[in-house]
């Protein structure tokens, strides 16, 4: 383990070694799991399985149909919650320097966040059934 830390401290091409190892492990894991499921899983080709898969909905008609307002609402809420995560980047970079105070500040941020989420859930914005 020590040689990895040492490598990371040097400003040479060698210091990218941990990144390369990480990359190899990542690719290896994906290849392994996909290959294993291909290899181990049963293969039965039926007519249903060979048609285009569109989220379990039979594929009919044009794609440019008016969307239900529900999709739209969920999309808006997603954008909102997705972008708020941006504040975790500066916190992650300064995690150690900010210490306890920073931690509580982030907890407070997440709490406000969560209260917003609870609010929209309670309000029924995410209910799919009418």
How far apart (Å, rounded) are the C-alpha atoms in residues 128 and 73? 11
Binding of another protein by 91 (CB under 8 A): no
- List phi, psi (to 5°) of 121: -65, -45
Q: Which is nearer to another protein, 5 or 69 (CB)?
A: 69
CB of 97 to another protein, least distance (A): 12
The residue from 34, 76, 107, 125 that contacts another protein (CB under 8 A) is: 76
Binding of another protein by 57 (CB under 8 A): no
* Alpha-carbon separation of residue 45 from 41, 48, 90, 94 (angstroms): 13, 8, 50, 53
Q: Which is nearer to another protein, 53 or 72 (CB)?
A: 72
Please calculate the CA angle 73-79-84 and round it to the nearest 5 degrees: 130
Instruction: Give the footprint of another protein on this chain (CB under 8 A).
Output: 69, 72, 76-77, 79-80, 82-84, 86-87, 89-90, 112, 115, 119, 122-123
């Amino acid at each position: 383990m020590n040689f990895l830390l040492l490598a990371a401290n040097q400003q040479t091409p060698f210091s990218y070694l941990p990144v390369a190892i990480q990359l190899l492990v990542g690719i290896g894991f994906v290849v392994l799991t996909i290959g294993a499921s291909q290899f181990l899983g049963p293969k039965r080709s039926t007519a249903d399985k060979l048609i285009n898969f569109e989220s379990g909905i039979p594929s009919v008609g044009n794609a440019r149909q008016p969307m239900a307002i529900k999709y739209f609402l969920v999309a808006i809420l997603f954008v909102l919650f997705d972008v708020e995560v941006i504040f975790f980047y500066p916190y992650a970079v300064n995690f150690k320097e900010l210490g306890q105070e920073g931690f509580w500040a982030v907890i407070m941020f997440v709490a406000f966040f969560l209260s917003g989420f609870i609010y929209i859930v309670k309000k029924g914005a995410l209910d799919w059934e009418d």
